[in-house]
Amino acid sequence: EDKVVQSPLSLVVHEGDTVTLNCSYEVTNFRSLLWYKQEKKAPTFLFMLTSSGIEKKSGRLSSILDKKELFSILNITATQTGDSAVYLCAVCGSNYKLTFGKGTLLTVNP
Amino acid sequence: KAGVTQTPRYLIKTRGQQVTLSCSPISGHRSVSWYQQTPGQGLQFLFEYFSETQRNKGNFPGRFSGRQFSNSRSEMNVSTLELGDSALYLCASRAQGADTEAFFGQGTRLTVV
């Protein structure tokens, strides 16, 4: 059974700090790894990483994929209070099934 | 381009009743997945439908079922509701293809009393 483990489960930082969120996985027939941000209800898409795209960057957010060690990290630099959310990692494996981790709750204090 | 639409947004049911939730995917998307989210448990996969066929299934009891229509709209049914079924139910739609992101609806908040 596909498995995604995120760490830490929660994190409290001050504005301006840099944070690193971790995601490790065990999946059959890895296709892609996705990061989402969930603030209220609907998770919103951040990045997709695949064998052909192991690094992504958008503004203060960046992510890398290590297919050999089976993990990914999401970095957020110069954090802002608006970054407070649950960050979800998901892996697409066999039969295109998306399996999610439990998420990391990030709280950014002013 | 309209997003993923879930109805109803909120629902209160009594133990033992059944409930049907609806999800309309983004136009052109043929895959619809359903997830249950409870505090501390993340998104737990229920099932996925693609072109009216169930393509994947999670580890939920048979009380949870779904279907997909020819227009890609999907419904999820839960029979004999239990208190533990109280949760946010999210659906996500994807276009055809392996390397495509899933787009989520706003969810249906189900409360079982």
Inform me whether the C-beta atom of residue A84 falls under 8 Å from chain B C-beta atoms.
Answer: no
Is the pLDDT at A77 greater than 80? The verdict is yes
Instruction: Convert the pLDDT of each residue in A8-27 to its tens digit.
Output: 999 999 999 999 999 999 99
What pLDDT shows up at residue A82? 96
Using CA atoms in the order B4, A100, B35, B104, what is the torsion angle rounded to 10 degrees? -10
Residues in chain A: 110
What pLDDT shows up at residue B35? 97
What pLDDT shows up at residue B66? 97
What pLDDT shows up at residue A93? 87
Average pLDDT over residues A70-79: 96
Q: Choose, out of B33, B101, B106, the residue to mutate when testing the contact with A (most A CBs < 10 Å).
A: B101
Provide the pLDDT confidence category of residue B98 given band limits of 50, 70 and 90: low
Query: How many CB atoms are located within 10 Å of the residue A105 CB?
Result: 16
Average pLDDT over residues A31-57: 90
Measured in angstroms, the CA of A103 and the nearest CA of chain B are apart by 6
Inform me whether the C-beta atom of residue B102 falls under 8 Å from chain A C-beta atoms.
Answer: yes
What pLDDT shows up at residue B97? 64
Phi/psi at A93 (5° precision) = -125, -140
Residue among A42, A102, A100 at smallest CA distance from B9: A42
B48 and A99 in contact by Cβ < 8 A? Answer: no
Q: Which among B41, B56, B106 has the least Cβ separation from residue A42? A: B106
What pLDDT shows up at residue B1? 62
Inform me whether the C-beta atom of residue B104 falls under 8 Å from chain A C-beta atoms.
Answer: yes
What pLDDT shows up at residue B61? 96
| Residue A29 or residue A75, greater confidence | A75
Using CA atoms in the order B107, B108, B109, B110, what is the torsion angle rounded to 10 degrees? -150
Task: For B104, name the nearest residue in chain A, comparing CA atoms only.
Answer: A42
Instruction: Convert the pLDDT of each residue in B17-76 to its tens digit.
Output: 999 999 999 999 999 999 999 987 889 999 999 999 999 999 999 999 999 999 999 999
Instruction: Convert the pLDDT of each residue in A52-69 to its tens digit.
Output: 778 899 999 999 999 888
What pLDDT shows up at residue A22? 98
